[in-house]
Amino acid sequence: MESGDITRSSRALVAVIAVAALLIALYTVVSELSGPEVYGPDDTEIAVSAGDRFTIEVPDDPGDGYQWIVAAPRPDPAVLRATGDRAAPQAPAGGPPPPGHGSRAMDFEAVHPGRTDLRLLRCRRCATGAADEPGARALNFRVTVG
């Protein structure tokens, strides 16, 4: 075997490894940029796969004294798990969002195949009977995990 053959084989192997590494890096970047699926108040039917993470974004004005919670009856924990929430302001360029124009992102993880109901409630005291508070608002979602 000539030394030129080894060099040619080595170059081909290095090229294949470099292309594979580039494809893996590209996939990772695209996955990070795409992030979880985001649903809104009108998306009452949500279909996801087990292991998927998704967000429901609801209108929010933190200054009005109301907050969003996952309300009873809570979703089946074997199917769906709440993973947190955060302010997601929709600020105009260069300034804070005007009052009443922010949003709250409620994050979830699909745990196992099944179907469950998810109820989000905007309430002030958020105690028993909170859905009957003046200004309260409920959103209902049917989540199917395949």
Statement to judge: residues 1 and 46 lie in one domain: no
DSSP conformational letter for 65: S
Q: Alpha-carbon distance 144 to 79, whole Å?
A: 8
**How many of the other CB atoms lie within 10 Å of CB of 117?**
14
Three-state DSSP class for residue 13:
helix
pLDDT of residue 19: 80
How many domains are contained in the chain?
2
Q: Alpha-carbon distance 89 to 84, whole Å?
A: 16
Statement to judge: residues 30 and 42 lie in one domain: no
Whole-angstrom CA distances from 28 to 52, 53, 88, 115 are: 16, 16, 24, 30
Statement to judge: residues 23 and 62 lie in one domain: no
Statement to judge: residues 30 and 46 lie in one domain: no
Statement to judge: residues 17 and 48 lie in one domain: no
Whole-angstrom CA distances from 39 to 6, 7, 74, 80, 132 are: 55, 54, 19, 15, 25
Do the Cβ atoms of 110 and 49 come closer than 8 Å?
yes
pTM for the structure as a whole: 0.71
Statement to judge: residues 70 and 101 lie in one domain: yes
CATH of the domain at 97: 2.60.40.2020
Q: Alpha-carbon distance 121 to 66, whole Å?
A: 10
Statement to judge: residues 56 and 26 lie in one domain: no
Statement to judge: residues 69 and 10 lie in one domain: no
Statement to judge: residues 57 and 26 lie in one domain: no
DSSP conformational letter for 63: G
Question: What is the extent of the structural domain holding 131?
Answer: 37-145
Per-residue pLDDT of the chain (146 residues; tens, 9 = 90+): 555 567 877 787 877 787 877 766 665 555 555 678 999 999 999 999 999 999 999 999 888 999 999 999 999 999 999 999 999 856 555 555 555 568 999 999 999 999 999 999 999 988 888 888 898 999 999 999 99
